[in-house]
Structure 1
Amino acid sequence: MTSSVVTSPIPDSTRSSRVPPALRKRPRLPVRRQQSVSVAPHEIALRSARHGVTALLSSWGLVCKDVVDTVELIVSELLTNALLHTIPVPGDEIGLSVAEAGGAVLIEVEDGGGPTTPAIRPRAGDECEHGRGLALVDAMADSWAWRTLPNGRRSTWAYVSAAPGGGAW
């Protein structure tokens, strides 16, 4: 069964710094497989979710190591940002959705929102332990963005295309 992830295709200019992340559109994918889970806002749960995504991609037959590693890193960074930079609500969990279409993967993390918006920080110093996450996501994903949902929660997504040159999964 084929369903579609909403909004419109990615224009070629989405990687441009002139397009703010909040205005970028998620790609439209003819989704073959999708999995959504709730993740407790604790480090150990984030680690389990990251490993779970790797196992999920493997169970789907996605074995291109570069793409799987990229998706795992992006999941880790987006979940960590959701844990560290959102307003915690007792009992509230972080939503994680992974969709696949023809080897391309769309990752989406929904959190409680917060007083700041996701942004790439100026280069973090060598001694800084934080501040590189979205720069890594920006460098590794084909596109990423965030939006505030009508209920005040925030959705941050990243899109990773299929293996270069249409390589086999």
Structure 2
Amino acid sequence: MAEAGTAQFKQELDVRASALGCVRTIVKAHMCLWGFAPLAETVALCLHELLANVPRHTGSPKCKLTLDRSPDRLRVTVSDTSQTLPVKREPDWTKETGRGLVLLDEMTDAWGAEPNPDGGKSVWFEIRATPQREAA
């Protein structure tokens, strides 16, 4: 049974670099629809970091995006085919890559990764917030 006030969005994705802007737009629209407009940019940026890693670390641009909204939080999950779990490391600040998990750690309330029962893994983050209702 679903918790009252929950909502979910699922989408199979092919996350080539040219598609990331479109995905960010879709996610921002859901944030506004669900009353999380103030979090739209943060969620889009954190998601972009996860999606950019899919082809880099799996060799395939295919993944699944799941957005779960509950009354007091938003959870974003990216599932892919690799069984290798990400590990947060101290980034090399002279390079353009390698800061995604540090960013998640700073900008979200929680994040993690877990193997999927049918293979692959899911990497997720959560942001706690109360949805904003528009004034009537």
The normalised TM-score by structure 1 is 0.70
Q: Aligned pair 1:102/2:76, yes or no?
A: no
Alignment-mate amino acid for residue 117 of structure 1? L
For residue 138 of structure 1, the aligned residue among 94, 105, 112 is 105
Q: Deviations over 1:51-101 (max 9, x none)?
A: 21001111223222xx2222111111111112211142xxx7210011111
Alignment of 1:20-39 (within 5 A): 32-39=6-13
User: Equivalent residue for 2:29?
Assistant: 55
Determine the C-alpha separation between the residues in 2 that align with 1:150 and 1:34.
Answer: 21
Aligned-pair CA distance for 1:119: 1.3
Contact 2:71 2:131 in 1 (8 A): no
Segment of structure 1 superposing worse, 35-44 or 53-62:
53-62
Alignment of 1:103-118 (within 5 A): 103-114=72-83, 116-118=84-86
Determine the C-alpha separation between the residues in 2 that align with 1:140 and 1:129.
Answer: 19
Q: How many residues get paired?
A: 133
Q: CA RMSD in A?
A: 2.1
Alignment of 1:70-89 (within 5 A): 70-88=42-60
For residues 48 and 55 of structure 1, do their structure 2 counterparts lie closer, same or farther at Cα, with a shift above 3 Å needed?
same
SS in structure 2 at match of 1:76: helix
Determine the C-alpha separation between the residues in 2 that align with 1:41 and 1:63.
Answer: 24
For residue 129 of structure 1, the aligned residue among 96, 120, 130 is 96
Segments of 5+ residues of structure 2 without an aligned counterpart are none
Contact 1:62 1:103 in 2 (8 A): no
**Structure holding more strand per residue:** 2
User: Equivalent residue for 1:3?
Assistant: 2
User: Equivalent residue for 2:16?
Assistant: 42
SS in structure 1 at match of 2:69: strand
Alignment-mate amino acid for residue 99 of structure 2? R
Contact 2:35 2:132 in 1 (8 A): no
Q: Deviations over 1:5-44 (max 9, x none)?
A: xxxxxxxxxxxxxxxxxxxxxxxxx661110001113111
